[in-house]
Structure 1
Amino acid sequence: MASPVASRTALPDHLPSGPVGIAQRLIRFETVNPPGDEAACVEWVRDLLDAAGLETRLLALDPRRPNLIARLPGRGLVPPLLLHAHVDVVPVAGQDWSRPPFGGELVDGEVWGRGAVDMKGQLAMMLAALLRLRAAGTPPAGDVILAVVADEEAGSGAGARFLVERHPELFNGVRYAVGEDGGAELGLGRQVRLHPIVVAEKRAAWVRATLHGTGGHASRAAGPAGAAHKLQRLLTAIDGGGLDTQLTPVVDRMLQELAGALPQPVSGRIAAFRADPDDPSALDGIDETDARYLRSLVRHTVNATVIRGGTATNVLPASIEVELDGRLLPGDFTTDEFLGALRARTGCEMGLELLVEGELMPPPRLDGFYDRLAGILRAKDPEGVPVPMVTTASTDARLFPRLGIQCYGWLPLLHDPGTSYRGRLHCADERIAASALEFGADCFHELLIGHD
């Protein structure tokens, strides 16, 4: 790494230092994954931080897809803190955009473009906070490590996974990490501004189920031994969205805090669901999107996504394959237990092949660092309500716990309760308010000044 610069360093005029200008510039790099090609974007971030005098280093499995590690030395009072962000984005093909998706335009107080929310806007917040500290000559309490990575949207193989597996020494001493929130959001009537702090993620268990049956002429009744009949039993068994309900401690606390923060009648509905997640009427009156999300947090979910089988209309198939997207609750749940429960629930013979197994993450901790994230939000937005959340998606936060790092998803946004920024992820017309970027940068600055 380059030697740290002790004195204050002013950025050249052509380089932005605020979150709005940084976000605009990041969006203008077309880093759609696949193929990614994040090099130009990552190198621009390196040049920005080099100009400010931060230590930087590029590491790559693929030279077209480098990762940046930057370090702002601190006062050594607390362990290093990791901030991590990806610069790849999902495709825009087939979407009807009102404005150029890679224009980074500022229109009516909003920055438009793919990645504005996921997650170039958040990276802009992090960078603006680091640059502000550097320009003021104010070192943080401990070192701050920023990992700007490739490939999060397609498995992280060239990005965070590469860093964790090949360069774990870069993260020596890190206890906590802050990254994206995986789109975690609850509208709940848009009556209260909720600030989700993601403390855990569900992990993937993608499975191929093979159902064998008696083949033959389709003019005759197949009976229960037929592969199609077994398929029907499988689909019926998971029709409710997954396996039996399990209320984990972190989801229990989340529901308790939501019930205490929200007005009636929503509060009562959340309390009823917490008391009996199996009651199909508990969430009556709750927005269907929110209700489905909450139900996903109290069970291992299983959804059939791909079905293959049969050769002709008049031939009974001897076998049918079904691909299932399983998502396991956070905690010490094993995939063997999940597969066993799936077999028991369906009650029919089938072969189960595990296609993808997500990383086993430790049970979430809501400790002093979580309290600090929540406290910053309360101070910056007294009317808002921080709440611990579990996301059904997965992010790079699933990888860093291998190194003993506790990860949090934290995207501080100040917005009208009726505005769904996170609902714009992966959608046409993705955009974020300039004021939201400024608010987020202030929150990150507060975090870095005295993280503990």
Structure 2
Amino acid sequence: MAEQQTPAAEGPDALSLDEVVTYTSDLIRIDTTNRGGGDCRERPAAEYCAARLAEAGHEPVLLERTEGRANVVVRVPGTDPTAPGLLVHGHLDVVPAQAADWSVDPFSGEVRDGLVWGRGAVDMKNMDAMILAVLNSWHRTGVRPRRDVVVAFTADEEASAEDGSGFLAERHADLFAGVTEGVSESGAFTFHDGSGNELYPIAAGERGTAWLELTARGRAGHGSKANAENAVSRLAAAVTRIGAHRWPVRLTPVVSAALKDIGAVYGLEADLDAPGFDVDAYLAKLGPAASLVASTVRNSSNPTTLNAGYKVNVIPGSATAMIDGRFLPGHEDEFRATMDELTGPDVAWEFHHRETALTAPLDSPTYARMREAVREFAPEGIPVPYCMSGGTDAKQFSRLGITGYGFSPLRMPPGLDYNALFHGVDERVPVDALHFGVRVLDRFLRTA
């Protein structure tokens, strides 16, 4: 018989609410800026997390593919050995921050005016701190979850993930044995719609990543001479076509559910499968809440970089560009075919980086538990499904058969835009939001 678990109503202990603030601040002060190309060192943050876990009686392991690019993994045994395991993961690296643009030192971890300030406050050292605080509270109070909970703190999420979740999935799959589902960033945060409603989007999908490198080749020559094989002109024409392309609407099951559930908040009903249904007109009726789904009703392709030439009077023989492409679950083939058409015969393209699109069931017991945990601590909140426009480490862990959800709970006040804080200036998180996150995460992980 499975050991009786502590009732969910008891919640985390009071010390954990202080710890989550301290841990968030401490982790921000450890500069783990990921500039890409391997320019990052997460090991000090990984050692910090491992030390906190060891203090609470856990046995974490540190793993590196590249020196200094450390990951931490620990398994917390559940009370039901027949239940599938649950992965909870958070990345340790952050994007760069230009200190001159900030009102505080972005790596100060300053706690001021009820807020913790610094790079990583919402993406995603706050979640790392919540995980640590919950596990340490469990140790002090003797709580065990029903399922095995495997925790992974990863490197390199803000770049290729090759030194982080990709490395773990490829080289250390045994640490995730029996795990069928996972949760991580970008879900269960407060979205204020400007009409008094508080939505809590919980992610059940991600668009696929298709970062492309375009190369145009032509005939090099003098800038004063006529040249019908100008590589720069060929590239510019292809980039213009890509940037101007209007992708067709493709409603996946998760996006369709999001449109219906969000629409219901405003008394809207729509037959999304009806011929001639105008999704853009429907989105306009959702007001600010449309932003939760507008980027996921289509594939997308945005030109981001150009590189050509070395002197004004010399026509170069080649020119390159980068495209940030994203494709919906089930629509990668359409994306590829469209890029073949848009680039044309004079421009070649290849994947600079590609990751799969994800979708997760909305009718799973795990998704229901996430909704219930949010409702318990935000009874006025309205949980809704959504698909992330970007991607997370869930893509790499999906190679192990792990279904991924976005669930890193934060109760944000009006006027503090969660999405705008991602990779933004003056990134910060309210202390109250961290407390809410610990309570909700604790409730979910106990009952999942």
When the two structures are superposed, what TM-score results if normalisation uses the length of structure 1? 0.83
Q: Which residue of 1 aligns with 2:331?
A: 333
AA matched with 1:112: W
Cα deviation, residue 129, structure 1: 1.3
Task: Please state whether the residue corresponding to 2:371 is helix, strand or coil.
Answer: helix
Structure 2: gaps of 5 or more residues: 1-14
When the two structures are superposed, what TM-score results if normalisation uses the length of structure 2? 0.84
The answer to whether the 8 Å contact 2:78/2:148 transfers is: yes
- 2:103 is the counterpart of 1:104: no
Provide the aligned C-alpha RMSD in A. 3.4
AA matched with 1:37: R
Q: Which residue of 2 aligns with 1:194?
A: 199
Cα deviation, residue 176, structure 1: 1.0
Q: Which residue of 2 aligns with 1:8?
A: none
The answer to whether the 8 Å contact 1:193/1:415 transfers is: no
Cα deviation, residue 245, structure 1: 2.2
Deviations 1:105-150 (A, max 9, x none): 2211111122111111111111111111221112111221111122
Task: Please state whether the residue corresponding to 2:368 is helix, strand or coil.
Answer: helix
Deviations 1:236-294 (A, max 9, x none): 4334465322111211111111111247xxxx699999986767665558779x76774
Task: Give the percent of matched residue pairs that are identical in Structure 1 and Structure 2.
Answer: 36
Q: Which residue of 2 aligns with 1:245?
A: 249
Q: Which is worse superposed, 164-173 or 14-23?
A: 14-23
- Whole-Å separation in 2 of the counterparts to 1:91 and 1:183: 25
Cα deviation, residue 188, structure 1: 4.4
Q: Which residue of 1 aligns with 2:12?
A: none
- 2:355 is the counterpart of 1:354: no
AA matched with 1:391: M
In structure 2, the CA distance between the partners of 1:232 and 1:159, relative to structure 1 (3 Å rule), is closer
The answer to whether the 8 Å contact 2:43/2:70 transfers is: yes
Cα deviation, residue 217, structure 1: 7.1
- Whole-Å separation in 2 of the counterparts to 1:40 and 1:181: 24
2:182 corresponds, among 166, 177, 181, to: 177
AA matched with 2:210: A
Task: Please state whether the residue corresponding to 1:386 is helix, strand or coil.
Answer: strand
- 2:53 is the counterpart of 1:49: yes
The answer to whether the 8 Å contact 2:209/2:357 transfers is: no
- Whole-Å separation in 1 of the counterparts to 2:226 and 2:95: 46
AA matched with 1:26: L
- Residue correspondence of structure 1 range 28-427 to structure 2 within 5 A: 28-34=29-35, 35-76=39-80, 78-93=83-98, 95-181=100-186, 188-189=193-194, 191-212=196-217, 230-231=234-235, 233-240=237-244, 243-262=247-266, 283-284=283-284, 294-310=293-309, 313=312, 319-329=318-328, 331-334=329-332, 337-345=334-342, 349-361=346-358, 366-427=363-424
Task: Please state whether the residue corresponding to 1:54 is helix, strand or coil.
Answer: coil
- Whole-Å separation in 2 of the counterparts to 1:208 and 1:421: 31
- Whole-Å separation in 2 of the counterparts to 1:389 and 1:245: 16
Cα deviation, residue 396, structure 1: 0.7
Q: Which residue of 2 aligns with 1:7?
A: none
Deviations 1:64-122 (A, max 9, x none): 22211122222025222111111111222354222222222221111112211111111
- Whole-Å separation in 1 of the counterparts to 2:387 and 2:188: 10
AA matched with 1:333: H
Cα deviation, residue 211, structure 1: 3.8
Cα deviation, residue 395, structure 1: 1.3
The answer to whether the 8 Å contact 2:145/2:446 transfers is: yes
Cα deviation, residue 309, structure 1: 3.5
The answer to whether the 8 Å contact 1:245/1:278 transfers is: no
Deviations 1:182-227 (A, max 9, x none): 899866446422212111111221222334567777678877x765
How many corresponding residue pairs? 430
Q: Which is worse superposed, 236-245 or 69-78?
A: 236-245
In structure 2, the CA distance between the partners of 1:242 and 1:168, relative to structure 1 (3 Å rule), is farther
Cα deviation, residue 365, structure 1: 5.0
The answer to whether the 8 Å contact 2:188/2:201 transfers is: no
- Whole-Å separation in 2 of the counterparts to 1:392 and 1:425: 13
- Whole-Å separation in 2 of the counterparts to 1:344 and 1:387: 37
